[in-house]
Chain A
Amino acid sequence: MSLDAVQVMSGQVKELKVPPPSNGDSRGSWEEKEEFDRDHLGLSTKPKPPKPENAVTVAVSSRVLFRTEREQKVFEQEGVEEYLRDQIAHEDEPFAPGPAFPFVKALETVNGRLRELYPQSEELFDIVLVTYNHAHVGIRLINTINHHNLFIERFCMTGGSSPIGYLKAWHTNLYLSADAEKVREALAEGIAAATMFMPGKQTEVSESQLRVAFDGDAVLFSDESERIFKAHGLDKFFEHERANEDTLLDHGPLKGFLEALGKLQKKFYAKGHRLDCPIRTYLVTARSAASSGIRALKTLRAWGLEIDEALFLAGAPKGPMLEKIRPHIYFDDQMFHVEGAAEVGTIAAHVPYGIAQKHNPKQKAGVGK
């Protein structure tokens, strides 16, 4: 089947899925074909990974993509040599999915839809595995990726040194890790990053639509308003927001990632897929719609960012709302909310940014922002 025929068919009939050619011919360039010969694959087509500067690069660490608690324990209790020996002994046992797994699967689903609509485009998600594990664990990680049928072709195993330099070289748009230290380092370098935790229970999430939810202050926006609230209380906060309604909020660490998602959404809209767009974004904020929320909306509008649903809770707990939305990932700067999300089975990621980090994370429900 020629490439032209594939393009025409995908554009016209949404449901038709063109099966990969069975004769092992790749869909890409000669260079790609060389790679397959070298790989001795000769199997189904594997699309070529995009150039890092064109793609939305999401870097995940092995500890959030997969469940490695047992191995972590071996590392902590029995030392590094025993840890490696254990890993190599279990090399053919794939790891179980971790907290970032559903999110990564959803990114791949979006990629599939993007490739159907724009076969030549490199504006896709590119998932990179970044770990400071030693490469001894590499084979087990590769086996695991194969087992779960993930499309991850790029990785960095730094053998103990900081992965931050590599994150920058990959033009990373989002970094997810289990290590808060590394996440803070990344944030300090201007890379959107968050710490992920495994929830006790997991609610089912959509397999056809990627849903990403964001807190407002200190995530999409700066923490300036939170500072006012913490220093002077709720009344002063409202006063300040009202007075500054027309002043844009400063940007927060996840603004860039929302922007990247928006760019991809527009590609779906351009092909008539606004109603069934496979990416959906949510703002879940303790601000209230009638007052403090206005400044948030005006800011987003001024930035040219669309958010699909803005939920102003006016201080009410976020759990029930998150349970309804069922995002693949929810970003919040306060551990209190991250834990609250986990209680309802939502996978949340902590953005250790701003003034909230200096205060006791456990706050009274309803008062916290």
Chain B
Amino acid sequence: MVATVENTDVKQKDADRALIVAVTSRSVFESGADDDGDEEVYKVGTAFPLLQALQRVNERLLEENPAESLLFDVVLITTDRQQQQQSSRIISSTRHYGLEVGRFCFSSEEDFTESLLTNNVQLFLSTDAMEASQASQKGVVSAQLDQHAASCPSEQLRVLFCGDAVVRLSSSPAPASQQAPQSFSAQLGEMRQRFGLFDSPVSVVLVTSRGGRESCGTALRTLRSHGVSVDEAYCLAGAPRGPMLSLIRPHFLLSVGFSDLKE
């Protein structure tokens, strides 16, 4: 049974306008082998800088406009029974670090994807590839966080779009599997527009790995048509991705539009 708990420490966001992002508890906190240990508070995990970056974006948005409703609404979700049973420890750890988590969702491996849908989650992030894949199959835009996310900056949210799988422009309405990514992109794009070119707390990066400049041009135009202005673009035309990604340091990668995320 899924228990959803509001975090009373944090002011609740406008559910209709906020960009709801769910992150797994195992990504945010480092749960040791001995989960019923004496310590009350978990150590920080891979997704910690990411949460701080999301928080930073919210702070800056509210600085620009104290009545801003387009904010990140973070849901901390458990995706297995073991974590599900650690609810008090998860809540106290969240409070300890002052994390801006709006809600907790205590679900298990069987029902977490349902929780994502019930909570209208627009972006699901997990360090577990299987979980990301499962959620994606249910139509939720998902990305796997890799261990490098732990060393990403916490002052700027860096979102990477992989251009080789960007949705093609078409005159017919987007099929269902493409609507979720497009609406997420549109909201992210709108959020980005709240800030100027320099000193923005969010940066949108595009990488086309295999294609040449035509692929990149198409990707830029497509993203623009979805309301996303790209800050940085790297066209690799087959050059190795690894060195580039370690320079770009994205928090997570999105292949917008297509269901397979194995890039």
Contacts and interface: CB of A to CB of B under 8 A. Distances in A.
Interface of A: 31, 34-35, 38-39, 41, 46, 48-49, 51-52, 80-81, 84, 134-136, 138-139, 142-143, 145-146, 152-161, 165-166, 169-170
B196 A154 contact: no
A157 B211 contact: no
The winner among B164, B232, B243 for most chain A CB atoms within 10 A is B232
Main secondary structure of the interface of B (DSSP, over half): mixed
Contacts of B203: 159
A265 to B, nearest CB: 25
Nearest to A154: B237
Interface stretch (B13-21, B143-151, B216-224): B216-224
B238 A38 contact: no
Contact of B196 (A80, A135, A156): A80
A204 to B, nearest CB: 29
A41 B164 CA distance: 15
Given A138-B216, A142-B216, A155 B234 contact: yes
A311 to B, nearest CB: 38
Contacts, number: 98
A153 B221 contact: no
Contact of A48 (B217, B230, B238): B238
Contacts of A81: 196-197
Interface residues of B, number: 32
A154 B217 contact: no
Given A39-B215, A49-B212, A49-B238, A138 B233 contact: yes
B247 A165 contact: yes
A27 B164 CA distance: 21
B213 interface: yes
Nearest to A52: B239
A31 B210 contact: yes
A136 B230 contact: yes
B244 interface: yes
Contacts of B216: 138, 142, 155
Given A31-B210, A135-B230, A153-B237, A142 B244 contact: no
B231 interface: yes
Given A52-B240, A134-B197, 8 more contacts: A31-B238, A80-B198, A84-B197, A134-B231, A138-B230, A139-B220, A142-B220, A157-B232
A157 B234 CA distance: 6
The 4 closest A-B pairs by CB, nearest first: A153-B212, A135-B233, A153-B237, A159-B232
B46 to A, nearest CB: 23
A81 B229 CA distance: 13
A35 B217 contact: no
A47 B29 CA distance: 48
A166 B216 CA distance: 18
15 contacts: A35-B210, A35-B212, A52-B240, A84-B197, A134-B231, A135-B231, A138-B216, A142-B213, A142-B217, A143-B217, A155-B213, A157-B232, A159-B232, A165-B247, A166-B234
